[in-house]
Amino acid sequence: MKKIAIICVILCTPLLINAQTQIPTLDDLDHEIAMSSQYDKQYEDVIRNVKKQLHAAKSMEARYDLSNKLFNLYTSYSVDSAIVYAMEKQKIAKAMGNQSKVNDAKLNLAYLLIRGGELKDASDIINSIPRSGINQDLSFYYFSTRKTLYRTLADAALIPSQRKMYKQMEKLCNDSVVDNNQSPDIWSRAEQLVNRQQYEQAKKILLDAYHHLKPGDRQTAFVSISLADIYGREKNVEAQKQYLIAAAISDIRNSVKEYLALQQLAMILFEEGDTKRAYAYMDHAMNDAVFCNARQRTIAMADVWPAIEKSHERETKSRTLKLTAALVLISLMSIFLLVMIIYTRRRVVELRAIRARLSNTNELLKESNNIKDEYITRFLSECSAYIDKLDSYRKQIYRLVTANKRTELLNTLKSQEIIDRELDSFYSSFDETFLGLFPNFVEDFNALLKPEERIIPKQAGHLSTDLRIFALIRLGVSENELICSFLRCSKATVYAYRSRVRLKSIDPDKFDEMVQKL
């Protein structure tokens, strides 16, 4: 049984189950295109299974039927493979001596040659079939193939008069398809009504069939493309797009590689400005046509493909330029942000350092104030004590003078006892005050010296002379003259003490500086 005959019979049969109610969208079509490779894999599995059956078939009748089945499977999938099985059918039919089957195989081959653009060879094959050899069962396929030939010739004709002639012959063939069949197929009947500009009647027939079909049915593509053609004639673009989408979905689900719907939809989308989808759809259609080796369809698409491709390239370049500009802007902003972050971090570090210095300065000021407060208090106390002692000393001298104790007076004035006692008292007071302010001074000071050279005071709470020198340095008194005056010794003595202790330190060069930080 011939492929087109099968389609026609099915189209004439009311399908009341799983009727189509939803309107397919472009997103649905995008999803189906993404799934096309999976559909193709399933389709090829079916082909492989039929080939296995053919190899196992023994009878000529079975081999003919299976070759016919493979021809039908390959017709819209691979023209070259379909030609192989059309010729195999013809070979088997001749061996069987069945002229009707031979003619059927010839029409198969003619149909494929039409799609391959070999119109002269196709016409010769069709004309080689005598009209007497066309029985009732074959007449539909014969006139359908002639109709396809004249439609293709009309599309390829450059001279208007020739195009008009072929169009007229196409209509006559379609009328013959309808007239020579007791139950003409819906597709041919609708085409006849369209040729007579009876669009509403044609739509009624097709819509009734459409709503009884499932989205994945192969017949959906034929009905939908016919509806799209009618709506296109009526300038109803939205309806035209809807049925082109439905036809394209049916084609993809059935692994049809030679089709018209997706190509026409791409052109409409291109005219509407949807260049991205138009390019994607036309690219998919072109790849399928090349895969199928449908040269006639490839040539037709080649006329419009450059315009879509050029527009797509312009749009892509525009998007690339915008993206580049955006990236440059983002990069500049990132650099600016990075600079600001670095600057801010530096400022934070600087502020922290300033804060640390301020905190240290505040601590030093606080320490200095404490030292001043302590020493001023001690100074006032010592001054008051010295005044009392001077007054007591004055009274003692006065008594000795008044009593005329000249010898005792001279002894008192010559004696160093008072001076030594007062110095001891003064140093004890200094030591007590200093160690009260810096209780860990001796331990911290010794930490700067080598372990074997550390200085241990003879009496707890008192400082030795060398420790007293560096205690003054800790208080900020670093001039030897002031230290000499304070300790009542010579500069050489002070220098000797400082030099000797410095040599005992771990780091002599920074010793005085480290002492001031204790």
User: What confidence tens digit (pLDDT) does each residue in 98-115 have?
Assistant: 999 999 999 999 999 988
Where would I find the H helices in 254-294? 261-272, 275-292
| CA atoms of 261 and 270, how far apart (whole Å) | 14
Q: How far apart are CA 367 and CA 445, in angstroms?
A: 18
Does residue 14 sit in the same domain as residue 28? Answer: yes
Name the least confident of 10-14, 185-189, 477-481.
Answer: 10-14
- Choose between 335 and 518: higher pLDDT: 335
Lowest mean pLDDT among 174-178, 378-382, 417-421, 481-485: 378-382
Burial label for 91, CB within 10 Å (0-12, 13-18, 19+), is middle
163, 203: one domain: no
User: Which of 215, 204, 222, 213 lies closest to 15 in space, CA to CA?
Assistant: 213
pLDDT at 10: 36
pLDDT of residue 86 exceeding 90: yes
Q: What is the pLDDT of residue 4?
A: 40
How open is the CA angle 179-180-182, to the nearest 5 degrees? 85
- Could you give the CA distance from residue 316 to residue 313 in angstroms, rounded to a whole number? 5
Mean pLDDT of 469-477: 83
pLDDT at residue 250, as a whole number: 93
State the pLDDT at residue 254: 93
Q: Could you say which of 130, 146, 170 is where a domain stops?
A: 130
Is the separation of the CB atoms in 227 and 258 below 8 Å? no
For the chain, the average pLDDT equals: 82
Same domain? 352 vs 397? yes
Taking residues 504-508, what's their average pLDDT?
85
Give the CATH number of the domain where residue 95 resides: 1.25.40
Residue 300 falls within a domain, yes or no? Answer: no
Q: Which residues pair with 109 in a beta bridge?
A: none
199 within a domain of the structure (yes/no): yes
On whether both 316 and 235 belong to a single domain, the answer is no
CB 193 within 8 A of CB 201: yes
**CA pair distance 173, 164, nearest whole angstrom:** 14
Residue 306 in domain? no
DSSP 78: -
The pLDDT-based confidence of 187 (bands split at 50, 70, 90) is: confident
Local confidence band at 3 (pLDDT 50, 70, 90 cut-offs): very low
Domain finish residue from 112, 130, 148: 130
% of the chain exceeding 70 in pLDDT: 85
How confident is the model over 247-253, as a mean pLDDT?
93
In this predicted structure, what is the pLDDT of residue 373? 62
**What average pLDDT score do residues 44-72 get?**
94
- Measured between alpha carbons, how far is 6 from 140 in angstroms, rounded to an integer? 11
Backbone angles phi, psi at 449, to 5 degrees: -100, 160
Burial class (CB in 10 A: 0-12, 13-18, 19+), 317: exposed
Please check whether residues 384 and 338 belong to one and the same domain.
Answer: yes
Domains held by the chain: number:
5
List, for residues 276-323, the tens digit of each pLDDT value.
898 899 889 888 888 887 766 666 666 666 767 777 677 777 778 888
Task: DSSP for 422-487, please give it.
Answer: HHHHHHHHHHHHHHHH-TTHHHHHHHTB-GGG----SSTT---HHHHHHHHHHTT---HHHHHHHH
Q: In this model, does residue 17 exceed pLDDT 50?
A: no
Residue 102 within any structural domain of the chain: yes
Do the domain assignments include residue 408? no
Q: What pLDDT does residue 387 have?
A: 65
**Which token pair is 444?**
């911290």
- Mark whether 252 and 167 lie in a shared domain: no
Q: What is the mean pLDDT of residues 126-155?
A: 86
pLDDT at res. 53: 95
Q: Domain check: are 423 and 507 in the same one? A: yes
Q: Mean pLDDT, to the nearest integer, of 63-90?
A: 93
Region of 488 on the Ramachandran plot (φ > 0 left; ψ -120 to 50 alpha; else beta): left
Tell whether 323 is covered by a domain: yes
Mean pLDDT, residues 16-26 taken together: 63
The amino acid sitting at 166 is Y
Same domain, 380 and 475: no
Mean pLDDT to the nearest integer, 431-448 = 84
- Kindly state whether residues 232 and 251 are assigned to the same domain: yes
Residue 391 reports pLDDT greater than 70: no
433 shares a domain with 491: yes
Is 203 a domain residue?
yes
Judged by average pLDDT, the poorest of 305-319, 432-446, 477-491 is 305-319
- On whether residue 430 sits in a domain, the answer given is yes
pLDDT in tens, 401-438: 777 777 777 776 766 677 777 778 888 888 888 888 88
Which structural domain range is residue 443 located in? Answer: 416-516
Residue predicted with more confidence, 56 or 390: 56
Give the C-alpha separation, 374 to 439, whole Å: 14
Same domain, 106 and 174: no
Q: What is the mean pLDDT of residues 115-134?
A: 87
**Is the Cβ–Cβ distance between 79 and 115 less than 8 Å?**
yes
Note whether 60 and 96 are within 8 A (CB). Answer: yes
Q: Tell me, what's the pLDDT at 248?
A: 93
Cα 329 to the center of its chain, rounded Å: 18
Residue 74 in contact with residue 43, Cβ under 8 Å? no
* 282-293 per-position pLDDT tens digit: 889 888 888 887
- Give the pLDDT confidence score for residue 46 in this predicted structure: 95
Choose from 70-74, 274-278, 373-377, 463-467 the range with maximum mean pLDDT: 70-74
Confidence of residue 176 (pLDDT cuts 50, 70, 90): confident
Q: Which residue has the higher pLDDT, 416 or 442?
A: 442
pLDDT, tens digit, 9 for 90 and up, residues 155-167: 888 898 998 998 8
Q: Euclidean distance between the first and final Cα of the chain, in Å?
A: 112
Q: Which pLDDT band holds residue 1 (cuts at 50, 70, 90)?
A: very low
Structure tokens at 228: 């799209």
Residue 206: enclosing H or E segment and its boundaries?
helix 199-210
Q: Counting beta carbons within 10 angstroms of the beta carbon of residue 51, is it exposed (0 to 12), middle (13 to 18) or buried (19 or more)?
A: middle
Which of 258, 293, 328 is at the close of a domain?
293
Collapsed DSSP state (helix, strand, coil) of residue 359: helix
The residue among 118, 177, 116 whose CA lies nearest residue 146 is 177
Among residues 94, 87, 78, which one has the least CA distance to residue 110? 87
Are residues 301 and 263 in contact, defined by beta-carbon separation less than 8 angstroms?
yes
- Where in 104-252 does DSSP place strands (E)? none
**338/340 Cα distance (integer angstroms):** 5
Q: Are residues 192 and 286 in the same domain?
A: yes
Nearest to 302, CA basis, from 316, 278, 317, 283: 283
Judged against a pLDDT cut of 50, whether residue 5 lies above it is answered with: no
